[in-house]
Chain A
């Protein structure tokens, strides 16, 4: 399975949860397959999906799932100690690890070589770190949601992309509808 297939398989599990989605193809795929106000699409700033998601989780009560990539986590490695030391039990970091920088042409990442993000997250102090294979992603995510514990999931999948259009929605619209959805849910 490639990342777009993993995201597709997760749509019923995302359900009406709030999702912060990584820049580039992951956001474009999520937007194409299941656009809704509970999705926050990153249009810039590679690496910050986990930081944005943690901020949302710390500020309010609803569950937040950050979809990240192995390349993006490598870009913002400092995020893992911050997450480990600021536990938000309504936060799930889902790293879709295809061992490559998918949005830029599938250049290999170190996560596909010697570096294990699962081991790194654990070493950083994250308490619930689960590595799974692509096929196990829906069940693993559902279990993490049901556990009500901050969880880091490293989902291993194959490298590869489908053709998807860019997101043309205005960033302020993306942000505003996401905020309004959160506000309504927290009311």
Chain B
């Protein structure tokens, strides 16, 4: 099973029925699989905070949701994570491409990479870093944890995890 298939299988296993995505080259494969999964309503967002709003609404409407996004969006979603997702205590798995790590060809991506974990730590978002392909096995437990504690949880997936660019 490819890591993309495994990720989507875990989303389905945890009854996630709505997924919003903002594209990243690294996430193209998983976005395609999400779109093809019949039990998931895939709703592309134009900006990540908008997507978090949709996820908050879906949760209140009784459906589990998740967001797929790039780490560069952490900067523009801090307020939403703090004053919506955390303030109202809502679960939100965030599958994040961790651009700017080893193997990164675009220098500018490294600028946000160095702030990614610090920003997430500053706002007390539990953060998991999937580095090796086998780390995908942890996703099942991370999703269970997210819905147990009703928090936004960051799942950073770097280039090594995705086997390069």
Name A's B-contacting residues (CB within 8 A): 20, 40, 42-45, 47-48, 50-60, 76, 78-79, 81-82, 86, 171-172, 174-175, 178-179, 182-183, 186
Contact = CB atoms under 8 A, between A and B. Distances in A.
Best-surrounded residue of B44, B45, B46, B53 (most CB of chain A within 10 A): B53
Contacts of B50: 47-48, 51, 76, 78-79, 82
A78 B57 contact: no
Contact of A78 (B18, B47, B80): B47
30 contacts: A40-B60, A45-B53, A45-B80, A45-B83, A48-B53, A51-B50, A51-B51, A52-B54, A52-B56, A52-B60, A56-B60, A56-B61, A58-B43, A59-B58, A59-B60, A59-B61, A59-B62, A59-B63, A60-B61, A60-B62, A76-B47, A76-B49, A76-B50, A79-B50, A81-B46, A82-B43, A82-B44, A82-B54, A175-B90, A179-B62
Nearest to A40: B60
Interface of B: 17-18, 41, 43-47, 49-63, 65, 79-80, 82-84, 87-90
Given A44-B79, A44-B87, A171-B87, A186 B53 contact: no
A171 B87 CA distance: 7
A55 B84 contact: no
A186 to B, nearest CB: 7
The residue in B41, B59, B84 that gathers the most chain A C-beta atoms within 10 A of its C-beta is B84
Nearest to B45: A82
Contacts of B46: 78-79, 81-82
B61 to A, nearest CB: 3
A53 B45 CA distance: 14
A56 B82 contact: no
B16 to A, nearest CB: 12
Given A45-B79, A58-B61, A59-B18, A175 B89 contact: yes
Contacts of B58: 55-56, 58-59
A55 B88 CA distance: 15
A4 to B, nearest CB: 24
A148 B89 CA distance: 32
Contact of B60 (A44, A47, A175): A175
A178 B57 CA distance: 11
B43 A186 contact: no
A55 B89 contact: no
Contact of B62 (A48, A79, A186): A186
Closest 7 interchain pairs by CB?
Answer: A55-B57, A44-B83, A59-B61, A78-B46, A51-B53, A48-B53, A59-B63
